[in-house]
Amino acid sequence: MYGLKLDIPYQPKVPYDWKSREPWVQLPFPQSEYDDRIRRVREAMRAFGLDALVIYGAPGGEEASARWLTNFSTFGGPQAVVVPPDGEPWLFCSRNLHGEPMHSLYWQTWVREAHPAAAGDGPAARAAEMLASTDAKRVGVAGWETIPRTWADALARGLPGRELVSATSMLIELRSVKSPLEIDKMRQASMVAGQALKAAMDACRPGATEHQVSGIAHQVLFGLGAEAVAFDTAVAAGPRTGLKHSVPTGRVMQEGDMVFIDIGARMDGYNSDLSRTFVIGEPSAEQRRFLATAERMFKVWLDEARPGSVVPELKKKCQEIAYAEGYVEEHMPMGQGHGLGTAVWEMPWFSFEANQVLKPGMVFALEPMLVRLGFGTAVVEDTMLVTDSGVEALSGLPTAFYS
């Protein structure tokens, strides 16, 4: 099909053709879910005037769209997913551990035409080779803004006379409203992270170290089925809590310490994000007022956010609460939240400039915060679902302790 050559210098010893892979495939969703995603992608392609699509995926936060469409999690190297004008998608990956695709997670994906490619620009060259034999004139590239220069050159060289345009925003928008099955997965990821966070909070006492608390949280998180942490877990106690994000250290916790913990679970590619700040022992009057103000800011969203709400308007109401308490310098207007899904940062956008409107099925991390250097961070963060009538915190953890 399409006259594509698939020869590679090393011939794998473990067969990776679809017949060999199929018995090993364990998808987190039924095939119908992925079929529907392909259908939606092609509808969006038609709306954008695209004849074909190439999706760039790479470790370190760049694989979200590729994972969403194929369930393939690249094992250390970049991948190209190709949606041709007709027929099934293709997948090319340049990282093949030991030269064996089956050692490199090819058994994860439902895509029948999944093949190794040479290192460097190999996946892009394969994608161009495939599309060159089609009549696709206008090709969208999801990840166009971040692909390596060599990939851009390989696509342009292999597709002379074809128009290459960015399709990044198209894929991000498609992912922004979750299906019922995706919502179930994100609820699961949130509850797992919630139990890990609760275990970590329970472990914070005088004499415990940040490393020990982090270890307890990770034991619970992985014991409940997480495939990975969604990001590096933060555990900070005492004055460093005012730096907000911090990797755990060997610092011994003390009575009166403010403690900030930020943790997320990744379940079958879907990420949650939770954080809480609390005090070991009895909080001082200022610690209590500081933390209570953050809880009131979070409650604005619980009470008022719903489909049709405009994100900057809710952010301004949180700012008003902070300012009324005198926390002008401590209020962080840029840090109120971010969308979640197969990426840790995606739609809905929380910048003032985006003017984002909430829609049912969107999922985001909500984290209106106060930060004072040398004193602490006050924040309640949870993974939130936009329902038909409001928003719901998915972790199952309490969101108020001091208010």
Look up the CATH number of the domain holding residue 111.
3.40.350.10
In-domain check, residue 242 = yes
Give the span between the Cα atoms of 23 and 32, in whole angstroms.
Answer: 18
Judge contact between 403 and 326, C-beta under 8 A. Answer: no
Of 121, 156, 176, the residue that ends a domain is 176
Say whether both 312 and 249 belong to one domain. yes
Residues 166 and 311 in one domain: no
Tokens of residue 324, six digits: 């009324």
SS3 166: strand
Pair (376, 250) in one structural domain: yes
The answer on 283 and 359 residing in a single domain is: yes
Determine, yes or no, domain membership for 33: yes
* Same domain? 170 vs 189: no
- Among 143, 176, 209, residue at a domain's last position: 176
Query: Domain limits at 243?
Result: 180-393
Residue 142 lies in a domain: yes
List per-residue pLDDT tens for the chain, 403 residues long. Answer: 454 555 456 788 999 999 999 999 999 999 999 999 999 999 999 999 999 999 999 887 789 999 999 999 877 789 999 999 999 999 999 878 888 888 989 999 999 999 999 888 999 999 999 999 999 999 999 999 999 999 999 999 999 999 999 999 999 999 999 999 999 999 999 999 999 999 999 999 999 999 999 999 999 999 999 999 999 999 999 999 999 888 999 999 999 999 999 999 999 999 999 999 999 999 999 999 999 999 999 999 999 999 999 999 999 999 999 999 999 999 999 889 999 999 999 999 998 888 999 999 999 999 999 999 999 999 999 999 999 999 999 999 999 999 8
As a whole number of Å, the end-to-end CA separation of the chain is: 64
Domain boundary among the residues 176, 192, 215 is at 176
Residue type, 384: M
- Residue 80 DSSP class: E
For every residue of 230-292, DSSP letters joined together read SS--EEEEGGGGGG------SPBP-TT-EEEEEE-EEETTEE--EEEEEESSSPPHHHHHHHH
pLDDT one-digit tens code per residue, 336-369: 999 999 999 999 999 888 899 999 999 999 999 9
Tokens of 248: 């755990």
| Rounded CA separation 226/210 (Å) | 21
Q: Do 26 and 133 reside in the same domain of the chain? A: yes
7 lies in a domain?
Answer: no
| Residue 156: φ, ψ to 5° | -65, -40
d(CA 44, CA 48): 6
CATH of the domain at 375: 3.90.230.10
In a domain? residue 56: yes
CB 168 within 8 A of CB 147: no
Tokens of 275: 């954080």
Residue 13 lies in a domain: no
Residues 191 and 167 in one domain: no
Same domain, 202 and 93: no
User: Quick check: 151 and 56 in contact, CB under 8 A?
Assistant: yes
**Is residue 138 within 8 Å of residue 51, measured between CB atoms?**
yes
pLDDT score recorded for residue 1: 46
* 10 part of a folded domain: no
Say whether both 200 and 255 belong to one domain: yes
In a domain, 12, yes or no: no
Bridge partners for 366 per DSSP = 337, 382
Q: State the pLDDT at residue 375.
A: 97
* Adjacent-strand bridge partners of 295: none
Residues 102 and 218 both lie in one domain: no
| Structure tokens that stand for 152 in this block | 């851009």
pLDDT of residue 96: 80
Task: Give the Cα separation of 67 and 372 in Å (integer).
Answer: 38
Confidence at residue 9, expressed as pLDDT on a 0 to 100 scale: 65
pLDDT at 11: 83
The answer to whether 154 and 162 are in contact (CB under 8 A) is no
Cβ pair 195, 276 in contact under 8 A: no
Query: Do 105 and 83 lie in a common domain?
Result: yes
Q: Are residues 129 and 277 in the same domain?
A: no
Considering its fold, how many domains does the chain have in total?
2
Task: Give buried/exposed letters for 378-392 (b at 16+ CB in 10 A, else e).
Answer: bbbbbbbbbeeebbe
How far from the centroid of its chain's Cα atoms is residue 262's Cα?
15
Provide the whole-model pTM.
Answer: 0.94
Which of 124, 32, 28 minimizes the C-alpha distance to 82? 124
Question: Which helix (H) or strand (E) element contains residue 383?
Answer: strand 376-386
Q: From CA 124, how far away is CA 134, in angstroms rounded?
A: 16
Question: What dihedral do alpha carbons 174, 179, 185, 189 form, nearest 10°?
Answer: 50
Helix and strand element counts for the chain (H, E): 10, 17
d(CA 227, CA 222): 7
